[in-house]
Structure formats: C-alpha cells, structure tokens
Structure 1
C-alpha cells in the first residue's frame, strides 16, 4: 500500500481516499467495503449477527491481505485500535484525517450505516473519539484537518505535503 488513511468515523477517509486515488491514478480500497465483500454482507449485518470481536478478527485478516496491494487504503475508524503495530510496520505512509466532534456529528447524521455510531449521542461520540485519539496520533506520519476544507482541498493538501506521486 502506498498510503493509508486513518481517523475517526466521519473524518472523511473514504471520500478523500476515492478522490485522491482518482487524482493520482492509483487503486483505491475501502477496508469496510472489502470486509463486506469477503463476508458477502454489510458491516452493520456482520456486527449485529456476529458481534464486534468477530468483525475485528475479519478486519485484521482482510487488512493483511490488502496491505500488499498498491494504492490507497481507507481504514475503518477502529482499525488502528486493533492493528496499530501492523499498520506502522507496513511501509505505507499513514495519514490521519482529523475533524472536530461537531463536524463529525453533522456528517454522521447523514449516515445510518455505521454500527458503532447509530445509537451514540454527541457526548458518547466524543468519548469514543478520545479513547482512540492517542493511538491515531502515534500511528500517523502526518495529520490533515478536515473541518473547514472541501474533500478536493484536502486531497490537494495531502498531495502538496506528502511523499505520494501519480503512477
């Protein structure tokens, strides 16, 4: 993998990853989508039917397969919590997309497909984000703030400030 996007749910990883891959003529992989393909089920169904532990085991397995591919990978919000060392040792550049909790809350209100966020209020979302924040920061090579920028502007910031080039 050339570049891995990490960050809390709603920080823009999938949106930015797709645009960045297109602009750089690279393959794009969304870890949650790839997990769904491997299981032939939606993420929320996997969580509901088998639980988070099973999901995290499957996530690690799919991640280890994808990491060998060329391109850009968008991870799930909790991926770093269970795969930090593996990500750090992957050789890929790791970019943290960071957003404040109000921006995240607004973005998540439009998306009911996130199993861990569906029943959380803003205080609970903030607490979950803070639980993960230290690992996000430890894992990241660079941080980009997504609150006030469009996805296109974030892509340009990443290209201008990272060691990633078109193929």
Structure 2
C-alpha cells in the first residue's frame, strides 16, 4: 500500500489521527516532527530559535524528502508545504491527505502556539499564516477531509474510508 501523508495546520490532529489510522489500517507510523527533533537533538522551537525560519525549513525539507518508507502513515509538520522537494516526493510516493479545519477551530486548539514550534515569519499572525498555508494544502492534497466539528475517531474513519476507495 502507498504511504498516507497527513498535512494541515498545527492543531489539526495529524499526529493523533495518524497513530489511530496506522493501527486501524495495519500500517507503520512516522511523525516527521519527531524525526527532525531526533536528527537535530533539540525541540522544534529550539531549532527555529537557533537556525531561523529558513534554516528550519531547509532541515524540514531534507528530513521529509529523505523519508523512505512503505505502508506507512506519515504525520508532517504544518510547514512542510513550504518544502517543495519534500512535497513532490510525497505526491509521487503517497496519498496526501489534507485535514482541513476553520481558523477559529485551529486558534482554539493551539492555545500557546509558540510552544509548539509553529513557523511564523517576523510580525506574522496566526491568521495570516492560516490564510497563506491553506491554498498550499489544497494544492498538494490528493484528498481534502473537511474535519470541522469532528472528533479524532471520526476524522480517522473518514480518511480510512477514502483511502480504501483509492
């Protein structure tokens, strides 16, 4: 089976849904943010603080484009859509699924988003980041799952159903 790559805003539930989805479908699971932290030996927010936005995106691109897996659910960081090589790799090797949520829901779920290592340009707001990224998620996704008002279990079931139809 092709890999399943989950994309979307931080707080969309990619990692949580990904673990459950992998169990239900009998697949492996990778969280690419954890791969980045393992490679760099630091938390995401500390990597960003040390190497800056562009440096972090270069690391994120390298880690994601180098993922060589089969039959795996891959939860990505929200900024992976800025990494063209990584996204082209995922488009070729995987079913890319966009977990779509409203800005209001993302804002509610995130709380203190700076603690999560959310990649913001200087002076950028979460709303402008949301508006900038959503078209990129749409562009790269094979399937978009509108997850508004759904629990993690429901999102997982919806994704599993769509993937089985492919």
- TM-score when normalising by structure 2: 0.87
CA distance change for structure 1 residues 164 and 79 in 2, over 3 Å: closer, same or farther? farther
- How far does residue 111 in structure 1 lie from its aligned partner after superposition? 5.7
Please list every run of 5 or more consecutive structure 1 residues that lacks an aligned counterpart in the other structure: none
Runs of 4+ in 1 over 4 A off after TM superposition: none
Matched, 1:93 2:95: yes
- How far does residue 58 in structure 1 lie from its aligned partner after superposition? 1.1
CA contact (8 A) 2:60 2:83 kept: no
- How far does residue 117 in structure 1 lie from its aligned partner after superposition? 6.7
- How far does residue 51 in structure 1 lie from its aligned partner after superposition? 1.0
- How far does residue 85 in structure 1 lie from its aligned partner after superposition? 2.8
- TM-score when normalising by structure 1: 0.86
- How far does residue 164 in structure 1 lie from its aligned partner after superposition? 7.6
| Structure (1/2) with the larger helix percentage | 2
Using the alignment, how far apart are the partners of 2:22 and 2:112 within structure 1?
24
- How far does residue 102 in structure 1 lie from its aligned partner after superposition? 1.0
CA contact (8 A) 1:80 1:87 kept: no
Alignment of 1:52-131 (within 5 A): 52-66=53-67, 68-70=68-70, 71-83=72-84, 84-88=87-91, 90-109=92-111, 113-116=115-118, 124-131=125-132
Using the alignment, how far apart are the partners of 2:119 and 2:74 within structure 1?
22
Please list every run of 5 or more consecutive structure 2 residues that lacks an aligned counterpart in the other structure: none
Using the alignment, how far apart are the partners of 2:165 and 2:34 within structure 1?
23
Partner of 1:13: 14
Partner of 2:159: 158
CA contact (8 A) 1:12 1:146 kept: no
- How far does residue 113 in structure 1 lie from its aligned partner after superposition? 2.5
> How many equivalent pairs are there?
162
Answer with 102-111 or 34-43: which moved more.
102-111
Secondary structure class of the residue paired with 1:51: helix
- How far does residue 112 in structure 1 lie from its aligned partner after superposition? 5.2
Using the alignment, how far apart are the partners of 2:119 and 2:38 within structure 1?
22
